[in-house]
Structure 1
């Protein structure tokens, strides 16, 4: 059976790489956060009703100051990656990353995708595990990450299920036609074979809605679901440019498998660990 130390190291390595990539992307594309950019502080402060809130925002997250936050974010991510490699778990790197990730979310006022929220969950779980010596507390920290990730899949799936345009494939076609998220090759493929959009859309919904069975299914089925998930995120990365999904979500898969094995052991289900 996979041990909790291995699970934590994979979580560390995954979230550290995620933070490094997102931080470097923001630094490279920093024009978006400066005056005239769509994410500039002058636009971001419009969300505040009180002037003191806007002044506080500019004081800590103004254009130049935010760049320092990004530098700290990348540096702390590098330290956490090294800790994962040398099998060290101290609270300082995840704590700093948690704070800079929260600041990143506040500064990125236009909203962020699901990977942002998963990264917060993973950082909280790692921080929790790093400040305790209790085996039970570490197991609960891993379980916390697992439940949150499973919920992120499930909620996304059930929300899609309630939308008729997702069920009949129209939404997938619209996303492809917009040519904003989908790469040209994938967009052309969907346009050439429109009949696949409906089963493809329903397949995505089914996968996300049924993902919770990974917690209780026999080992072979759980591994199969995780392999499908890996392929799902790989396709998203290639077709839609969602590169951070392929980093942070698969990094949580060992925790899902670990929790599955614990649940089976707890109820003495006759499947080998």
Structure 2
């Protein structure tokens, strides 16, 4: 994948993430989130200066909601926006910006896996059981019974930990990278369908093209 294609795909996927978020929150601030939707559409159409407005809107949202109100997905979206904006505004550092995004994507999995590994509640499945048992998301109501299956929860927990810790190994070859990204996409999609974490899907997918380009660049 060429750098230009990776940057363009990152912009499009980022715009989808921002439009989705804007559509969900527009009732809470028509002006703020309506502008976000319009700028996201402009970015899809290739009008890259819209990223500067979107980045500014992101800062406004941080101030208004006193931090990333949707947690990790907001942080990832802001990271992607910052890297894309830097790539356009400082062409000499464009490849550095996208490489930084790729490294941060890998670290987001590896660090999360390491934190879970050190937590005994994650190792024995307790943490995941509590997620299913006490999730506040409506689309999880029919899935609470899964919390009563400890072996399944433990196996799923260990699977998540193993997948996240192994993500750096995806850089070894193109085949392992595509396999890892496929698993990652299914992981985020399942989190969206089962736990209501739909914003994480597009937030993380937006960084995938950067990693595909970066790995190919490393292997030369």
Relative to the length of structure 2, the TM-score reads 0.91
Does the alignment pair 1:162 with 2:118?
yes
Structure 2 counterpart SS, 1:109: coil
- How far apart, CA to CA, are the structure 2 residues paired with 1:254 and 1:120? 16
Please say if residues 26 and 70 of structure 1, whose CA atoms lie closer than 8 Å, have aligned partners that are also in contact: yes
Q: How many residues align?
A: 218
Counterpart Cα distance in 2 of 1:251 and 1:124: 13
Identify the match of residue 198 of structure 2 among 243, 247, 257: 243
Task: Name 2:98's counterpart in structure 1.
Answer: 142
Q: How much does 1:156 deviate? A: 1.5
Question: 2:65: which partner in 1?
Answer: 108
| Unpaired runs of at least 5, structure 2 | none
Query: Residue 185 of structure 1 contacts residue 239 of structure 1 at CA under 8 Å; is this kept in 2?
Result: no
Correspondence list, 1:178-193, <5 A: 178-181=134-137, 183-188=140-145, 190-191=146-147, 193=149
2:21 is the counterpart of 1:18 = no
In structure 2, distance between residues paired with 1:153 and 1:112 = 18
Structure 2: distance between partners of 1:214 and 1:255: 14
Give the deviation of 1:191 after TM superposition: 3.6
Other-structure match for 2:26: 27
Moved over 4 A (4+): none
More relative contact order in 1 or in 2 (CA 8 Å, sep 6+)?
Answer: 2
Instruction: Report deviation, 1:228.
Output: 0.5
Asked if the contact 1:168/1:198 (under 8 Å) is kept, the reply is yes
* Equivalent residue number for residue 55 of structure 1: none
| 1:97 and 2:54 matched | yes
The aligned residue for residue 232 of structure 1 is 187
Q: Cα deviations across residues 115-162 of structure 1 (Å, max 9, x unaligned)?
A: 11111111111111112444xx22212101111212222222111122
CA shift for structure 1 position 239: 0.2
Secondary structure of the residue that 1:183 maps to in structure 2? helix
Structure 1 CA distance for aligned equivalents of residues 61 and 91 of structure 2: 31
For structure 1, the residue ranges without an aligned partner over 5 or more in a row are: 31-65, 266-273
Deviation at 1:103, TM superposition (A): 1.4
2-structure distance, mates of 1:102, 1:131:
18
Question: Distance between the aligned counterparts of 1:103 and 1:133, measured in 2?
Answer: 26
Q: Secondary structure at the match of 1:180?
A: coil
Separation (CA, whole Å) in 1 of partners of 2:91 and 2:128: 47
* Alignment root-mean-square deviation, CA: 1.8
In structure 2, the partner of 1:78 is: 41
Helix, strand or coil at the partner of 1:246: helix
- Counterpart among 180, 191, 204 of residue 160 in structure 2: 204
Q: Do 1:4 and 1:138's aligned partners in 2 also have CA atoms closer than 8 Å?
A: no
